Amino acid sequence: MVYAKIVDGSVDNYPVDEWDIRRAFPTTSFPAEFSPPEGYVPVEPTPADVEWDQVAAETTPVLDGGVWRQTWSIRDATEDEKNAIRARWECSRFQGRAALMLSGKLDAAAQAVADANDPMTSLAWNEATTWRRNSALLTGLAAELNLSAADLDDLFLTAMAIEV
């Protein structure tokens, strides 16, 4: 549990955990089931509602309906941050091909692989169990299909959402 120290109705210190409070009150014997002293309140966690291309930064909790709640500041991710996020994206071959099928691009992608007349490209298309968003094969294939980076992002988001 995370707490905030409240002074005159405003947050004075946040975040504060149980051990911070125990250190601040070294001569206090707390019950086995920790209960913070007066002036400290639990802060209810709230999820940061962000899209993949946004970044959340925690801000000062607010009192909402008698409950102190975690709050977030949301901003658009920089290109470097987006690239770092994309670098972690991966899907299975099935998910990738399913996303291509749903977008009506599966046949064109398969034809582009065949037209490449490259054994490694063909092998990767047919045998790779994991597809990575930033792989040379997929960025090259996207270029052959005239897909923008945003189009490839959308395909990957669709693919990663498909449950196998």
Interatomic CA distance for residues 126 and 139, integer angstroms? 17
pLDDT tens by residue, 2-61: 999 999 999 999 999 999 999 999 999 999 899 999 999 999 999 999 999 999 999 999
Q: Is pLDDT at 164 greater than 90 in this prediction?
A: no
Strand partners, 162: none
Whether omega before 15 lies within 30 degrees of 0, making that bond cis, reads yes
Determine the pLDDT at residue 19.
Answer: 95
pLDDT tens by residue, 109-163: 999 999 999 999 999 999 999 999 999 989 999 999 999 999 999 999 999 999 9
Residue 39 gets the label, from left (phi > 0), alpha (psi -120 to 50) or beta, of left
Cα 27 to Cα 1, 21, 83, 158: the distances in Å are: 22, 11, 50, 56
Query: Which pTM value belongs to this model?
Result: 0.75
pLDDT tens by residue, 59-82: 999 999 999 999 999 999 999 999
